[in-house]
Amino acid sequence: MKWALVGVIVGATVLGDVFQTLGMRRHGEIHDFRPGALGRVAAALSRNWYVIVAIGMMAVSFFTFLTLLSVADLSFAVPATAATFVIETVIAKYFLKERVTWKRWAGAALVACGVALLAL
Amino acid sequence: MTRHLRFKTRVLTLVVVLANVLGNFLMSWGLKHRGAALGASVLEYLTVLLNPWVAAGACVLIVWLLSRMALLSWADLSFVLPVTSIGYVLTAIVGWTLLGEHIGPGRWAGTLLIMGGTALVGSTEVRTTERKGEPVSVGGVR
């Protein structure tokens, strides 16, 4: 049960993050953090379909995470979802076309080992 | 420009990490003191959001979401994920100290490996892809 919930969280989080990245790339870098400017950013993002889909996926992930927290310890629930790190690094390289250096791959490997240890 | 980008990346990373840890703690606290596991009913999910601890946690996690989106507007996903995963370590410490959760040597070792991955990737450039109106420099932006 716990690992099935982790699977749903990982899938929804990966999709949410990929769409969120695409949406924010489309929007461009945020330079101005004053309240008025942030309001204009929020208005622009509310019409950005990538961001809308991302928030939908994150909502699925959030409610599944609530369920997981009700049946598992926080110190299990949060780190167990770190599998998203490895999957998203692969997607970042081949789909988002980011330059993933050996340090980023090594970091992904370390996290993968960390996740394996968490399951012991 | 590069120094400014590095500064705002650090500040926003701190906001993302702290909001994530605090939001998860508040939600976990609220759910633990609720007594029963959540079922499949939508109404049950909406009801649980009325719990003040869970509601506060959800508000803090909205701050986490918005600050993370701002960070992703200029930084790579493969950079943002590992540098913000330091929150896993803080979450484990919070779970151990404030929630009284048992964390065995395996989980501590796993958490430490995640921390090592965070440090390694955190030393790479912030951005290696183009943003709207912001071409990437040769060698990325550190």
**Residues of chain A with C-beta less than 8 angstroms from the C-beta of B141:** none
Determine the structural domain holding residue A29 and report its residue range: 2-118
Contacts 24+ apart (CB under 8 A), B120-124: B120/A103, B120/A104, B120/A106, B120/A107, B120/A110, B120/B82, B121/A103, B121/A104, B121/A107, B121/A108, B121/B78, B121/B79, B121/B81, B121/B82, B121/B83, B122/B79, B122/B82, B122/B83, B123/A103, B124/A101, B124/A103, B124/A104, B124/B79
Look at residue A78 in the predicted model and tell me its pLDDT. 66
Tally of structural domains, chain A: 1
pLDDT bucket at B138, cuts 50 / 70 / 90: very low
Per-residue pLDDT band at A12 (split at 50, 70, 90): very high
pTM of the model: 0.81
| Chain A residues with beta carbon closer than 8 angstroms to that of B27 | 66, 69
> Judged by CB atoms within 8 Å, which residues 63-92 of A form the interface with B?
63, 66-67, 69-71, 73-79, 82, 84-85, 88-89, 91-92
pLDDT top residue among A88 and B92: A88
Indicate yes or no: CB of B132 within 8 angstroms of CB of A28: yes
Q: What is the mean pLDDT of residues A47-55?
A: 95
Chain B neighbours among A 7-36 (CB < 8 Å)? 17-18, 20-21, 23-30, 33
Mutate to test the interface with B, among A9, A58, A110 (most CBs of B within 10 A): A110
3-state secondary structure of B134: strand
| The token pair that represents B62 in the structure block | 């909205």
Q: Is this complex's ipTM strictly greater than 0.95?
A: no
Please indicate whether residue A44 or residue A70 has the higher confidence score (pLDDT): A44
Take residue A44 and report the two structure tokens written for it. 């622009």
B139 falls in which pLDDT band (50, 70, 90)?
Answer: very low
**CB-based contact B25 A74, cutoff 8 Å:** yes
Distance from CA of B14 to the nearest CA of A (A): 16
Helix ranges restricted to H, A28-101: 35-45, 49-71, 74-80, 83-94
Contact with chain A for residue B76, Cβ under 8 A: yes
pLDDT digits (tens, 9 = 90+) for A63-120: 888 788 778 876 677 666 767 878 899 999 999 999 999 999 898 788 777 766 765 5
| Residue B1 pLDDT exceeds 60 | no
Indicate the average pLDDT of chain B. Answer: 81
B38 lies within 8 A of chain A by CB: yes
Per-residue pLDDT tens digits for A60-72: 998 888 788 778 8
Please answer whether residues B111 and B92 qualify as being in contact, where contact means their C-beta atoms are separated by less than 8 angstroms: yes
User: With pLDDT > 90 as the criterion, what percentage of chain B qualifies?
Assistant: 22
Chain A residues whose CB is inside 8 A of the B65 CB are 55, 58
Beta carbons within 10 angstroms of residue B44's beta carbon = 14
Question: Could you read off the pLDDT of B29-86 as tens digits, one per residue?
Answer: 887 776 666 666 777 777 778 889 989 998 998 899 889 999 999 999 999 988 887 7
